[in-house]
């Protein structure tokens, strides 16, 4: 019996009664997917699974794909290690963002499995982009629905991994660039979500960066208001599955001097519309 416990008013639910190390039944998988679409991000605790089982679990929700510019684990190229060591100060993706919005087909979802966590800190914040759009004025909605945004992989150093930095120092890093609607319609729920993010969005299509900056700064602040967010505290064996089409996330960098090791799988998505 799958139990869903909401962790905040805006989004997020912990699911109990699920052992993800084994294939889910057809009925359980349908229920988990329904809860995921309803809550935008779902969490599973105390899961014991190896890389092969982790890949099998992710494959029930979509097609795992390799992450651009980051090498995967040996034997499992579609699992990347998200690691911050004791001496490091910058975490992986340490800014509010939607994963790889600079791709023509950004990922549908991302999945994170905690392997090692600090004794305190290292939580992840999530934000609901349905609510961010719904709470705007009618005039602002009308303006934004006619715009596209330019997203670049080189915008935010804070969202680069140690591997990215090493590659960039050895060779010129490739700049991924993509234009997407500022307001996208979720292909499964039909709901509209605000689809810009401070990690990758540089300007509006047809606008200069200077012209775009005031409106983008307003949107970046608006979309992560506390009432649109939830916060998850990790333990080894915790898993998060979030919907990149309607949610953003931000890892909290408050555990200097400790290790944090996570394994991430990215699931293929479609072209935002």
Q: Identify the CATH number of the domain in which residue 205 sits.
A: 3.60.130.10
Q: Please check whether residue 272 lies inside any domain of the structure.
A: no
CA triple 161-162-163, angle to 5 deg: 85
* Domain of residue 218, residue span: 3-267
Q: Please check whether residue 126 lies inside any domain of the structure.
A: yes
Structure confidence at residue 1 (pLDDT): 87
Active site residues: 97, 99, 249, 264
CA dist 156 to 49, 50, 106, 161, 253, Å? 33, 32, 17, 11, 16
Q: Please check whether residue 8 lies inside any domain of the structure.
A: yes
CA dist 102 to 42, 152, 160, 178, 255, Å? 25, 5, 13, 5, 29
Structure confidence at residue 170 (pLDDT): 42
Q: Please check whether residue 273 lies inside any domain of the structure.
A: no
> H helices within 73-137, ranges in order?
129-134
Q: Please check whether residue 252 lies inside any domain of the structure.
A: yes
Structure confidence at residue 70 (pLDDT): 87
Structure confidence at residue 162 (pLDDT): 46
Structure confidence at residue 160 (pLDDT): 53
Structure confidence at residue 69 (pLDDT): 79
pLDDT, tens only, 30-84? 999 999 999 999 999 999 999 999 999 999 999 999 998 789 999 999 999 999 9
Q: Which residues of the chain have pLDDT under 50?
A: 158-159, 161-164, 166, 168-172
Q: Please check whether residue 115 lies inside any domain of the structure.
A: yes
Q: What is the domain count for the chain?
A: 1
Structure confidence at residue 155 (pLDDT): 81
Other CB atoms within 10 A of residue 208 CB: 9
For residues 209 and 203, is the Cβ–Cβ distance under 8 A? yes
Query: In the 8-state DSSP scheme, what is residue 22?
Result: S
């Amino acid at each position: 019996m799958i139990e869903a416990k909401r962790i905040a008013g805006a989004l997020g639910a912990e699911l109990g009664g699920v052992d993800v190390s084994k294939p889910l039944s057809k009925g359980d998988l349908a229920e988990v997917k329904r809860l995921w679409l309803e809550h935008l991000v779902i969490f599973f605790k105390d899961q014991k699974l190896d890389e092969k089982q982790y890949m099998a679990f992710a494959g029930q929700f979509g097609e795992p794909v390799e992450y651009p510019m980051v090498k995967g684990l040996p034997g499992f190229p579609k699992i990347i290690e998200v690691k911050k060591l004791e001496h490091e100060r910058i975490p992986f993706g340490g800014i509010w963002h939607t994963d790889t919005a600079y791709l023509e087909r950004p990922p549908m979802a991302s999945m994170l499995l905690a392997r090692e966590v600090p004794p305190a800190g290292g939580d992840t914040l999530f934000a609901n982009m349905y609510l961010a759009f719904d709470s705007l004025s009618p005039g602002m909605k009308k303006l934004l629905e006619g715009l596209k945004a330019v997203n670049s992989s080189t915008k935010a150093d804070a969202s680069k991994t140690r591997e990215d930095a090493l590659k960039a120092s050895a060779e010129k890093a490739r700049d991924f660039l993509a234009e997407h609607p500022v307001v996208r319609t979720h292909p499964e729920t039909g709901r509209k979500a605000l689809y810009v993010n401070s990690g990758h969005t540089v300007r509006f299509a047809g606008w200069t960066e200077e012209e775009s900056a005031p409106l983008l700064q307003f949107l970046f602040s608006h979309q992560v208001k506390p009432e649109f967010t939830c916060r998850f505290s990790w333990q080894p064996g915790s898993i998060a599955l979030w919907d990149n089409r309607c949610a953003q996330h931000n890892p909290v960098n408050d555990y200097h001097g400790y290790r944090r090791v996570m394994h991430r799988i990215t699931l293929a998505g479609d072209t935002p519309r």
